[in-house]
Chain A
């Protein structure tokens, strides 16, 4: 069965500082990995996805993530935080394209706080 662990339910950074949100996964097969962002009272917006093409994935809003098989990690980074980045971030994994039998399995989420 697949699973996702997001280290840190809350992460606080200063505006302009590096953002690092951690995600570790467990999967019995090469996984599909995703990062979604959720703003207050809204649905999930896809930031980026890994589908075995390239290990460094660039997404929207300046975010990127690197797939490291040896570490079973898919950490999300952004060089310089902006106030508008404050939101909840979810890492998700699936063992089949589009979700499969168990759908997407999500981590518990990380609330990103941006200090002015």
Chain B
């Protein structure tokens, strides 16, 4: 069974631009969540989607948004990029009634 797949793995953007990251969950998993990892703040919860609806959201500004499609694939978008948005963005998935969250390899975003 394939794991959580994230694309792209690495990308460089300029301040003010926007970026879209993609995530394909493990087959059969309907919940997708996103986390940001930085050296200073560590791992922080961004949001969780289930059946195309955002269920929970962490303490991030509105520039961070996401969506989930009917096939459970998810995208997250960051608009008006700032230098501080440089981070590893991790996507995770779990089964509907599951308590185990499985993570992908992440997307490394560098904002210059």
Q: Does B75 contact A (CB under 8 A)?
A: no
B56 contacts A43, C-beta separation under 8 Å: no
Q: What per-residue 1/0 map shows which CB atoms of B78-112 lie under 8 Å from chain A?
A: 00000000000010101001111111111000000
Across the interface, A97 reaches (CB within 8 A) one of B33, B98, B105, namely B98
Name the residue of chain A whose CB is nearest to the CB of B4.
A43
B99 contacts A97, C-beta separation under 8 Å: yes
Spell out A's residues near B (CB within 8 Å).
32, 34, 36, 42-46, 49, 51, 90, 92, 97-109
Contact A46/B100 with A103-B45, A104-B45 known, Cβ cut-off 8 Å: yes
Across the interface, A43 reaches (CB within 8 A) one of B58, B97, B99, B106, namely B106
Counting from the closest, the 9 A-B pairs by CB-CB distance are A103-B45, A97-B99, A106-B43, A44-B103, A43-B105, A43-B103, A43-B106, A101-B56, A98-B94
Name the residue of chain A whose CB is nearest to the CB of B105.
A43
Q: How far is the CA of A102 from the CA of B48 in the complex (A)?
A: 9
A45 contacts B103, C-beta separation under 8 Å: yes
Chain B, interface size category, equals 20 to 34
Residues of A within 8 A of B58 (CB): 102-103
Q: Does B31 contact A (CB under 8 A)?
A: yes
Spell out B's residues near A (CB within 8 Å).
4, 6, 31, 33, 35, 42-46, 48, 56, 58, 90, 92, 94, 97-106
Q: How far is the CA of A109 from the CA of B104 in the complex (A)?
A: 18
A108 contacts B42, C-beta separation under 8 Å: yes
Residues of B within 8 A of A104 (CB): 35, 43, 45, 101
Q: How far is the CA of A99 from the CA of B56 in the complex (A)?
A: 9
23 contacts between A and B (CB under 8 A): A32-B99, A34-B100, A34-B101, A43-B4, A43-B6, A43-B106, A44-B90, A44-B103, A45-B103, A46-B100, A46-B103, A51-B99, A98-B31, A98-B100, A99-B33, A99-B45, A99-B94, A100-B56, A103-B46, A103-B48, A104-B43, A104-B101, A106-B43
Residues of B within 8 A of A106 (CB): 42-44
Contact A103/B33 with A43-B106, A90-B43 known, Cβ cut-off 8 Å: yes
